[in-house]
Amino acid sequence: MPTSRGRLPSSVVAAIDASSYLGIRAGARSGHRFIAVWPIVVNGRVFARSWTLEPDGWYHAFLADPLGTIQVGTRRVRVRAVPARGTRIWAAIERGYVEKYTTPGSLRYVRGFKTARRRKATVEFVPR
């Protein structure tokens, strides 16, 4: 299914939106394993925000090499990670986290995703 304006296929976006976790692997030729992140879909666009911001973590790996792969279910899609900027999109992503992750154990992370340093560590996954 073709994408419009650099967006992932709607079937992939719908599956990500319905899932609590998204597998990601940073780097085009990475031998690293997939790790799970909390995805958020806003207006048909897929985002994730880093929690730890470790220098050797996924966010910094994508900054060094923006190409990677996402996995939803058994489907793998090659992507490019693009830093998400702007207070409107950051706020929409935060609303998405509040609406999607509602368990008592999730609330600490939902609140923590609102900090300035984590806001700046938001990426959008687009097809490559």
Q: Tens digit of pLDDT for each residue in 8-34?
A: 999 999 999 999 999 999 987 766 789
Whether residue 67 is contained in a domain is answered as yes
Q: What is the CATH number of the domain that holds 47?
A: 2.30.110.10
In a domain, 62, yes or no: yes
- What is the reported pLDDT for 30? 65
Domain span at residue 60? 10-121
Flag whether 109 is in a domain. yes
Q: How many domains does the chain have?
A: 1
- Is 30 domain-assigned? yes
Separation of alpha carbons 59 and 26, rounded Å: 8
In a domain, 126, yes or no: no
State residue 28's pLDDT score: 78
Asked if the structure places residue 43 within a domain, the reply is yes
Whole-model pTM? Answer: 0.92
| 2 has pLDDT over 50 | no
Better pLDDT: 32 or 106: 106
pLDDT of residue 29: 72
Check whether 1 has a pLDDT greater than 90: no
Residue 14 maps to a domain: yes
